[in-house]
């Protein structure tokens, strides 16, 4: 087994300080990349997508649950499968309390092509509280490239798509797939994919921290059982 080199404490501190310089540079580069993501244009979603969920039929607008942003996790669960993808399941396992996303006006939901009658028992088995909808029979997964046609057959891939709403208009702002999901799962990592970001005053471009009519994001931080609504 190739283990790290054994050194003195002083040598370790020197090596750690050298690495920290590069880590801080990577953090600044990530912040710049996130700002460029927020500067992406958006496109209006005009298709009338219909999903099946715990409360029956739902539109894409319904998935927002009245909030300003929506993050959809494209969970790999084909109609003919008896259970969801193991890797996608591990991804949902690591998601924290949704109250912190909701406090920033952002809803997280999973969508799969499997019928809801298959999703419901699997969700119960896994013990998840993330809202999960079925797009069975619709074009949502195909239109947002979570289901591809390979050699004439549908093939699933994991991904995330972000949406922003202005009253009853819904806009698609971002999507990423497969390795683009690496490192995601925390509240801030999901917010970094959205058009409004973490809604902090220091973020670029300026003017979006209070776009949802609330104070900047960090001001709203609470224990998850202290949020109202």
**Residue 193 pLDDT level (bands cut at 50, 70, 90):** very high
Peptide bond into 205 cis (omega under 30): yes
When mean pLDDT is compared across 22-26, 138-142, 175-179, 223-227, the lowest value belongs to 223-227
Average pLDDT (20-45) is 96
Neighbours of 9 (CB within 10 A): 7
Q: Is 72 within 8 Å of 109 (Cβ atoms)?
A: yes
Average pLDDT (34-49) is 96
This prediction has a pTM of 0.90
User: Could you give the CA distance from residue 173 to residue 44 in angstroms, rounded to a whole number?
Assistant: 9
Q: What is the tens place of the pLDDT at every residue in 56-114?
A: 999 999 999 999 999 999 999 999 999 999 999 999 999 988 999 999 999 999 999 99
Average pLDDT (179-205) is 90
Q: What is the tens place of the pLDDT at every residue in 117-146?
A: 999 999 999 999 999 999 999 999 999 999
Q: Is 64 within 8 Å of 165 (Cβ atoms)?
A: yes
Average pLDDT (3-7) is 94
Burial bucket for residue 136 (CB in 10 Å: 0-12, 13-18, 19+) = buried
**Residue 200 pLDDT level (bands cut at 50, 70, 90):** confident
User: Could you give the CA distance from residue 138 to residue 48 in angstroms, rounded to a whole number?
Assistant: 10
User: Could you give the CA distance from residue 211 to residue 209 in angstroms, rounded to a whole number?
Assistant: 6
**Residue 208 pLDDT level (bands cut at 50, 70, 90):** confident
Looking at residue 229, its pLDDT comes to 61
């Amino acid at each position: 087994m190739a283990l790290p080199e054994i050194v003195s404490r002083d040598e370790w501190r020197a090596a750690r300080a050298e690495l920290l310089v590069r880590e801080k540079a990577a953090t600044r580069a990530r912040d710049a990349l996130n700002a460029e993501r927020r500067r992406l244009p958006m496109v209006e979603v005009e298709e009338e997508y219909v999903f099946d969920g715990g409360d029956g039929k739902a539109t894409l607008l319904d998935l927002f649950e009245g909030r300003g942003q929506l993050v959809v996790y494209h969970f790999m669960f084909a109609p003919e499968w008896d259970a969801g993808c193991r890797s996608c399941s591990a991804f949902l396992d690591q998601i924290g309390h949704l109250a912190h996303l909701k406090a920033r006006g952002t809803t997280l939901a999973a969508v799969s092509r499997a019928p809801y009658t298959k999703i419901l028992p699997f969700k119960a088995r896994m013990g998840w509280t993330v809202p999960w909808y079925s797009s069975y029979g619709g074009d949502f997964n195909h239109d947002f490239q979570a289901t591809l046609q390979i050699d004439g057959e549908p093939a699933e891939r994991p991904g995330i798509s972000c949406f922003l709403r202005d009253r009853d208009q819904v806009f698609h702002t971002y999507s990423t797939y497969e390795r683009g999901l690496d490192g995601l799962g925390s509240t801030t990592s999901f917010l970094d994919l959205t058009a409004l970001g973490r809604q902090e005053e220091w973020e670029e471009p300026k003017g979006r921290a209070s776009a949802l009519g609330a104070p900047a994001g960090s001001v709203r931080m609470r224990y998850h059982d202290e949020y109202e609504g």
